[in-house]
Structure 1
Amino acid sequence: MRNLKVAGLALALLLPAASCFAGESVNLILNWTPTADHSPFYYAKAQGWYEKAGIDLTIEVGKGSGVSSLKVGSGGSPFGIADLATMLVARSKGADVVALMSIYANTGQTFYWLKSYGVDGAKTFPGHRIGNPPGDASRVMWPAFAKAAGIAPDSVNFVNVGPTAKVAALKSHAVDIISDFYNEHDTKVIEFGSDLGYVNWKDIGLNPYGNSLIVNGAYLAKNPKLAEDFVRISQKAFAACVADVAPCLKALVDQVSGLDKESQERQWERIKFLMTDEFTTSKALGWIDPGRMQKDYELVQTYLGMEKPFAVETAFSTKLLDPSIKMDASKVKK
């Protein structure tokens, strides 16, 4: 009987301790299926960094920035990854969402072509066929690209091509030009070699923010410390992966089936370029510049539309970032 009482007392003493270490359940919905740009989240989770901060993290596979923006904005997930232009549109429609950290400080939007098809830069696009999906951001934002490139918006023909069929469509000459993200650059280099030509939108003066870490506004107001911990751990993880991506990609492929390690390594080299600008290297890794955000807002308002206009400064915050963690530009190759 005495032994039972002792055992019961021991169990009673252990239970409170166990509950103290039970982390807050937190969901992060990705913008799409996991690839190299998501590896820092998997790495930080595998290292136990979120757990040590009292965060029990679940990483949810996404179905596009529109879906992640709406799920976070409705409170269905506290955190998410989304293209910032898409997030701004969602906010104008009532989504309670705030950007906390840029991942792609530079736009990934890129046009690719084969030189043998008679294309030699954006000035020669007129009269050619561009292949991409109907809702593709590069097609929606085409008038902005055309204006920056100095060509007429109606001077090209768009052809409906699915996301996974772009390279095949270019190879078969079903189209002359395709749009794709710069992190997939090496897939085209390997396929087409020296015949490949391309222009990143940044090269012609269009550089809206890309994928970013977003949070539900009400959740942020109720959980400021947890949100700060989440942001700073994620920042730390991205910096660690910039320094050495091998353990990060291992954490990713250990959890996500069907990924080719070499392909992901090549992607990461491009992602480091997308992460790097004058602010992420001087202010903080993940920094969001107010001036650039205002330009992005105006770009979105012009070409995508704002259902209910809002002050752009309410849509982002850099207060949770750790200014001591900066992007290491010496690790970047274009």
Structure 2
Amino acid sequence: MHYSKLGSSGVGVSRVCLGSMTWGIQNTQQEANDQIEYALSQGVNFIDTAELYPVPPSGEKYGGTEIIIGNWLAQHSARRKDIILASKIAGPGLAYIRDGAKISGESVIGAVDASLKRLQTDYVDLFQLHWPNRTSPHFSKHWPGKVKFSSFDSQHETNEMLEILQALDSCVKAGKIRFCGLSDDTPWGINTYLKLSEQHALPRMVSIQNEFSLLHAKDWPYLIENCVRENVAYLPWSPLAGGVLSGKYLNGKLPKGSRWTLEQRNGIFRDTPATHAATAGYVELAKTYKITPSQLALAWCDQVDGVTSTIIGATNMAHLKENIAAFKTPLSDDAMNSINQVFKDYPVPF
């Protein structure tokens, strides 16, 4: 396993981050335990979760994944120091989470305490804002006209961000969190937080996790360059585009129990003709280079300059082993060139 620094934190994290959002719906406590044990045995030291999980999110299951991780930690307390544990506070919009309210200083403090209780730990290594208070161009809103940036009050947004940072600072000083990060944000969000940190001597955002894959690479090059220049770790989530890059949804297939058979809060917006055409191209390339389609997509993601650690997820042990193995052997220059040819034909398939 290879390791990279988590931005300006200086902490070393594995190039593979174990995602957990299926634990509690598609995976049981025992299956989650098995995944954690296997990942750790392979050198993975980075686990990502959120108060929102499992996904699809619901009031009934809210916090369930953190509880599952907490149960494992309670039985392996001596191993807590070996794990870089990340969680997130949900942004606005879900009625069953703080009545759908925006993130505030008060809600940060409350969410940290609630996560620590569910996780059965005294601290979280990385506490992230799951999505910003303002509408951001994520979750299929990246097309021109989907977000009207000129309608936002930048000073108002900045004031809210300062309040959030001040609350995070209090949690850092209390020893409840070590570092702070972003998710589903933009260059403006990154840079505004960095500016506020410098102006007010507050914690620096050390990372950002955004959706990034062969089918959704909109963060390259501008946001990723921003991360490299400012020493902010870039953590891709959904590197298999919700599983579609595995090839399992080709030709109208809908495997029983798969993600697309479950209710989707934002609809199955990745399901487009261009998505399937691009995926078919990558599946054929994977055959040529004698790896699985998932391994091709994950290895590509790992080799993008500026990527720190790729967040993977699996609903069974076979897929987890396949996915972790993808990071062991880099793709050849010939393979990368072939991938780029397909990518140029389908740069924005959904």
- TM-score, length of structure 1 as denominator length: 0.30
Name the one with the larger helix percent: 1
Q: Select the structure of larger CA radius of gyration.
A: 1
- TM-score, length of structure 2 as denominator length: 0.29
Higher relative contact order (CA 8 A, sep 6+): 1
